[in-house]
Amino acid sequence: MVDPRKTTSAQWANVWLGLDVGTDIALANTIAREIIHSGLANTDFITRATSSFEEYAKSVEPFTLEEGERLTSVPAGLIRELAHSYAKADRAQLCWTLGITEHHNGTDNVFALINLALLTGHVGKYGSGIVPLRGQNNVQGGGDMGALPNKLPGFQDIETDQRARLRFETRWGASIPAKRGWHLSQMFEAMERGELRTLYVIGENPAQSEANVGHAIKLLEGLEHLVVQDIFLTKTAELATVVLPASANWVEAEGTVTSSERRVQRVRRALNPPGNARDDIEIVCEIARRLGHDWGNPTAEQVWDELRSLSPIHAGMSYKRLEELGGIQWPCTDENDPGSLFLHGRLWADPVVGPLAPFTPVDFLPALDTLSEEFPIRLTTGRRLDSFNTGVQSGGFASPLRRPETLNLSPQDMAKYGLSDGEIISISSRRGSIEAPVLTDVTLHPGLAFMTFHFPDEVNTNILTIDAWDPKSGTAEFKATAVRVEKLGSQTELGRSSSKVEALS
Amino acid sequence: MSDSVAVSIQRSVSVTIDGIEVAAPEGSSILQTCRSQGIDIPTLCYMETLTPVNTCRLCMVEVQGSRTLVPSCSRKIEPGMVVITNSDRVSESRKMVLELLASSVDMSIVSDELAGWMELYQVDKERFGPMAAPSSLGERETMRAGHHHKSDGSKAATVFEPVKIDNDQYVRDYSRCVLCYRCVEACGTDAQNTFAIALGGRGFEAHITTEFDVPLPESACVYCGNCVAVCPTSALMFKIEHDMRQDQSWDESRQTITRTVCPYCGVGCNLEIHTQDNKIVKVTSPLDHDVTEGMLCVKGRFGFEFING
């Protein structure tokens, strides 16, 4: 387990590597060098299935175990142990979540992990691989369906895959610009430049979820026209010119979602949506109609069948088969295809089918929001078990685990700053200040602080976070903020409400 | 595109069940073999997704050569084994087990299957006399081994006690607990690995409880509700269902169950949404779905209130 915090999962792990926030590449490159120097690299696989190994080996050469320890604060012995056990394992997976991707160099972090899988051949085999664990029920499906600036559904490139683009144009009877669009971070920059003046937001709450959220709200407020389609009147919807009440698409509508393992599964309508709320498909088709295009009133299945006719990796997934098989993992190219448990099996064919898998050497660059005398504490953000993102959904149930948002600090830092549990403190970053109670957290090492952004109405954590973003993915660096804390001299009651067993009257 | 996955080859074992020779994969239990042949056997503590623990003694069958009856849920088949599932001895044993349980535990909410078995065996819950009055709340936790007072025989001892309500998500009605251990297994290594509950006390005072009998909010409980999902007698019950049963609005004949996918993380847990009057009244997860085999976390199990509004 590699995590700056000794999380519950880390407490279960055989070994925990509590690295400093933002030093993932240093750790991965150190592991790589140790594998290479110990003769544990899978040279057969590297020779047959990969390219650019020499360049990669050279790039990790400075990362000795000692240098790795210096950069990451993980003891050299532990790094060595991980390198050896990973390289020698019969099957091994590298799984990660936003701790890898929500950095200014998130894509490079992922490349560093892919390099390790290629170095050891832990890819393209049952039980091995590189696995981004998705944090939302359809974040995989969103990408699969083309909610990316440069992709049509099924990961068909909008700029380079002319044949795919033609298929879509023929089917839709419209021309598609062969030019990538903006991703979320670029959209906000375009708002700042005044180039983006109208925004249509579906099922997202950027007025609370964006990094450096004070700035994001100003940009949203400056739009000429903001349309928000959501199941709630979110903080973003409160800023909107037009709000389109939608139905909850996991329980008030028919459709599909795609999980972390690329498994497409059916969601079904169990409830009638409240009031005037309408199905997303109905809303989109109605807007099209008002814009002069009659798309009819398609069912979710008809929309899905159109997708299947245009996205080869989904072609074999009829609603009937999704039902019968309990979901199907893409690629599934025809109705006899059972779907695919894992990807990249082609790398083990002899000779390799298709292009060789390239190593991508990556440089270690520390977090952008640097620690200083003024901002000496590293704040990282994440989730708590019973809550979810800005709390729009999870805030609705009476969770017995819930307690007020706090800034968590190590016992050493609590003592250093003379703080006691429940004391309200001021937390400041280079972007703004908020107030929150402080809480001792033994899972943190000195110099590390933790917060969530589940309760933005009470504690608006994203006032602090930095909106610097990864130029390759567009993802902001939520995980690494430099802060300082200051005493204010007031106290609040913390902890779960004291519970007493009550007899049934 | 399909990728081959190594499949271990299982040998077949021949056994005789109720006079008929049948073959089943090596490693199958007697129960699995019987059910594959359409021969049903009552169970209470057994669940397909949990490790058999042999606590209820309801699934006992005769095995030729064995002095005692054997639990069919955990006993593996062996070549040439001769099993009898329907003898008088087996029926008498099952009837006795059910009567001992029903005389001391409230078994008024059980599955239709179990209710059917109780009817078949003509279970008389008052066979051992009228039921003793409930204990007061917390009394059973304070009883220590050897402190059990001998009954004068006029009343059958019971485990009845008031319902424990100490959080907003589920209640514990241990008057209905048959100590099947399913909840402990689901909380432990069979699913959740939280170990918030275990068996406390001994003998008739044995009960499922938290560490030091603390209320749930002070325990290690993470409110996944997997214990509630596996409970066969509704000793553990979701608070909504409990409250609706109290005010007599719970009506399964007016409920529909719809399968969908959890709205939270990317694991893809399947949900069965139980609705009544266009409200969600319960969330379960299908046992036969290979993502989590019926298990959920606190968000999937309880995080639906935003829909009910």
Instruction: Label residue B202 by pLDDT band (50, 70, 90).
Output: confident
Residue B194 shares a structural domain with residue B294:
no
When comparing pLDDT for A107 and B140, which is higher?
A107
Mark yes or no for CB contact A135/B305 under 8 Å.
Answer: no
Please report the DSSP string for B252-293 in residue order: GGGEEEEEEE-SSSSS--EEEEEEETTEEEEEE--TT-TTTT
Nearest to A126 among B3, B169, B193 (CB): B3
In A91-210, alpha helices (H): 98-101, 106-120, 139-144, 162-172, 184-193, 206-209
Which of the residues A251, A340, A342, A387 would you substitute to probe the B interface, choosing the one with the greatest number of B C-beta atoms within 10 Å? Answer: A251
The encoded tokens of residue B66 equal 């064995």
Which of the residues A397, A401, A452, A500 would you substitute to probe the B interface, choosing the one with the greatest number of B C-beta atoms within 10 Å? Answer: A397
* Coil/strand/helix, residue B167: coil
Please tell me the least confidently modeled range out of A112-116, A463-467, B52-56.
Answer: A463-467
Q: Which of residues 219-258 of B touch A (CB under 8 A)?
A: 221-223, 256, 258
Task: Return the HEC string of A334-371.
Answer: CCCCCCCCCCCHHHHCCCCCCCCEECCCCCCCCCCCCC
Mark yes or no for CB contact A397/B305 under 8 Å.
Answer: yes
- Contacting residues for B85 by C-beta, under 8 A, at least 6 apart: B17, B18, B34, B39, B41, B61, B62, B72
Helix (H) or strand (E) holding A490: strand A481-491
Task: Look at residue B1 and tell me if it is in a domain.
Answer: no
Closest Cα in chain B, distance from residue A139 (Å): 7
Per-residue pLDDT, B145 = 72
Mark yes or no for CB contact B264/A388 under 8 Å.
Answer: yes
Residues A381-424: tens digit of each pLDDT: 999 999 998 888 888 899 999 989 999 999 999 999 999 999 99
Instruction: Label residue A499 by pLDDT band (50, 70, 90).
Output: very low
Please tell me the least confidently modeled range out of A27-31, A247-251, A303-307, B201-205.
Answer: B201-205
**Would the pLDDT of A188 be above 60?**
yes
Closest Cα in chain A, distance from residue B143 (Å): 18
Residue B98 shares a structural domain with residue B179:
no
All residues of chain B having their beta carbon less than 8 Å from the beta carbon of residue A338 are 2
Mark yes or no for CB contact B307/A135 under 8 Å.
Answer: no
Residue B121 shares a structural domain with residue B161:
no
Closest Cα in chain B, distance from residue A376 (Å): 33
What's the structural domain count of chain B?
A: 3
Residue with tokens 């944090």: A135
Residue B91 shares a structural domain with residue B37:
yes
All residues of chain A having their beta carbon less than 8 Å from the beta carbon of residue B306 are 232, 392-397
All residues of chain B having their beta carbon less than 8 Å from the beta carbon of residue A260 are 266-268
Per-residue pLDDT, B2 = 42
Distance CA B189, CA A488 (A): 46
Residue closest to A384 by CA, chosen among B226, B284, B265: B265
**Would the pLDDT of B29 be above 50?**
yes
Peptide bond into A404 cis (omega under 30): no
**Would the pLDDT of B4 be above 50?**
no
Closest Cα in chain B, distance from residue A186 (Å): 26
Residue closest to A222 by CA, chosen among A195, A186, A203, A243: A195
Closest residue, chain B, to A251 (C-alpha) = B260
Per-residue pLDDT, B148 = 67
CATH assignment at residue B300: 3.30.200.210
Asked if the C-beta of B212 comes within 8 angstroms of chain A's C-beta atoms, the answer is no
Per-residue pLDDT, A500 = 28
Q: Which long-range contacts (CB under 8 A, 24 or more apart) does B237-246 make?
A: B237/B170, B237/B171, B237/B173, B238/B169, B238/B170, B238/B171, B238/B282, B239/B165, B239/B167, B239/B168, B239/B169, B239/B170, B239/B171, B240/B281, B240/B282, B241/B281, B241/B282, B242/B163, B242/B165, B242/B170, B242/B171, B242/B173, B244/B276, B244/B281
Task: Look at residue B3 and tell me if it is in a domain.
Answer: no
Mark yes or no for CB contact B304/A388 under 8 Å.
Answer: no
- CA B283, B277, B223: angle at the middle one, nearest 5? 20
CATH assignment at residue B196: 3.30.70.20
Which of the residues A399, A403, A497, A498 would you substitute to probe the B interface, choosing the one with the greatest number of B C-beta atoms within 10 Å? Answer: A399
Mark yes or no for CB contact A271/B275 under 8 Å.
Answer: yes
Q: Are strands A377-382 and A448-452 parallel, antiparallel or unpaired?
A: parallel
Q: Are strands A263-267 and A328-329 parallel, antiparallel or unpaired?
A: antiparallel
Mark yes or no for CB contact A272/B278 under 8 Å.
Answer: yes
Residue B165 shares a structural domain with residue B54:
no
What does DSSP assign to residue A135? S
Going along chain A from its start, the domains and CATH numbers come out as: 8-128+348-355 (3.40.228.10), 135-179+246-338 (3.40.50.740), 197-245 (no CATH), 377-490 (2.40.40.20)
Instruction: Label residue A493 by pLDDT band (50, 70, 90).
Output: low
* Phi-psi domain of A121 (left: phi exceeds 0; alpha: psi -120 through 50; beta: other): left
| Residue pair A141/A264 in contact by the 8 Å Cβ criterion | yes
Distance CA A449, CA A438 (A): 10
Asked if the C-beta of B74 comes within 8 angstroms of chain A's C-beta atoms, the answer is no
Distance CA B69, CA B30 (A): 12
**Would the pLDDT of A211 be above 90?**
no
Neighbours of A147 (CB within 10 A): 13
Domain boundary among B205, B233, B249: B249
Per-residue pLDDT, B1 = 40
What does DSSP assign to residue B90? H
Average pLDDT over every residue of B209-224: 95
**Would the pLDDT of A353 be above 90?**
no
CA torsion, ordered A325, A326, A327, A328, to nearest 10 deg: -30
Task: Look at residue B190 and tell me if it is in a domain.
Answer: yes
Residue B169 shares a structural domain with residue B79:
no
Closest residue, chain A, to B138 (C-alpha) = A501
Which of the residues A137, A257, A264, A334 would you substitute to probe the B interface, choosing the one with the greatest number of B C-beta atoms within 10 Å? Answer: A137
Task: Look at residue B5 and tell me if it is in a domain.
Answer: no
Residue B114 shares a structural domain with residue B46:
yes
All residues of chain A having their beta carbon less than 8 Å from the beta carbon of residue B267 are 259-260
Which of the residues B264, B275, B292, B301 would you substitute to probe the A interface, choosing the one with the greatest number of A C-beta atoms within 10 Å? Answer: B264
Residue with tokens 């295809």: A337
Which of the residues A269, A272, A501, A502 would you substitute to probe the B interface, choosing the one with the greatest number of B C-beta atoms within 10 Å? Answer: A501
All residues of chain B having their beta carbon less than 8 Å from the beta carbon of residue A504 are 162-163, 165
Strand extents, DSSP E, A32-187 = 50-51, 93-96, 129-132, 151-152, 156-157
Distance CA B150, CA B128 (A): 14
All residues of chain A having their beta carbon less than 8 Å from the beta carbon of residue B1 are 331-333, 337, 340
Domain of residue B237, residue span: 136-142+157-249
Asked if the C-beta of B265 comes within 8 angstroms of chain A's C-beta atoms, the answer is yes
The encoded tokens of residue A35 equal 């594998």
Asked if the C-beta of B167 comes within 8 angstroms of chain A's C-beta atoms, the answer is yes
User: What ipTM was assigned to the predicted interfaces of this complex?
Assistant: 0.92
Mark yes or no for CB contact B222/A401 under 8 Å.
Answer: yes
Residue B242 shares a structural domain with residue B265:
no
Residue B210 shares a structural domain with residue B258:
no
**Type of residue at B125:** K
| Residue pair B197/B187 in contact by the 8 Å Cβ criterion | yes
* Coil/strand/helix, residue A174: coil
Please tell me the least confidently modeled range out of A52-56, A82-86, A490-494.
Answer: A490-494
**Would the pLDDT of A503 be above 70?**
no
Nearest to B217 among A259, A267, A496 (CB): A496
Domain boundary among B249, B270, B289: B249
**Percent over 70 (pLDDT), chain B:** 96
Closest Cα in chain B, distance from residue A294 (Å): 30
Task: Look at residue B111 and tell me if it is in a domain.
Answer: yes
Closest residue, chain B, to A393 (C-alpha) = B306
Domain boundary among B217, B234, B249: B249
Mark yes or no for CB contact A265/B138 under 8 Å.
Answer: no
Residue B235 shares a structural domain with residue B265:
no
Task: Look at residue B151 and tell me if it is in a domain.
Answer: no
All residues of chain B having their beta carbon less than 8 Å from the beta carbon of residue A452 are none
Mark yes or no for CB contact A499/B216 under 8 Å.
Answer: yes
Residue B266 shares a structural domain with residue B237:
no
Please tell me the pTM assigned to this model: 0.92
Distances (CA, A) of A477 to A133, A467, A469, A500: 18, 6, 6, 43
Residue B215 shares a structural domain with residue B269:
no
Instruction: Label residue B152 by pLDDT band (50, 70, 90).
Output: confident
Mark yes or no for CB contact A260/B291 under 8 Å.
Answer: no
CATH assignment at residue B119: 3.10.20.740
Closest Cα in chain B, distance from residue A298 (Å): 21
Task: Look at residue B233 and tell me if it is in a domain.
Answer: yes
Task: Look at residue B273 and tell me if it is in a domain.
Answer: yes
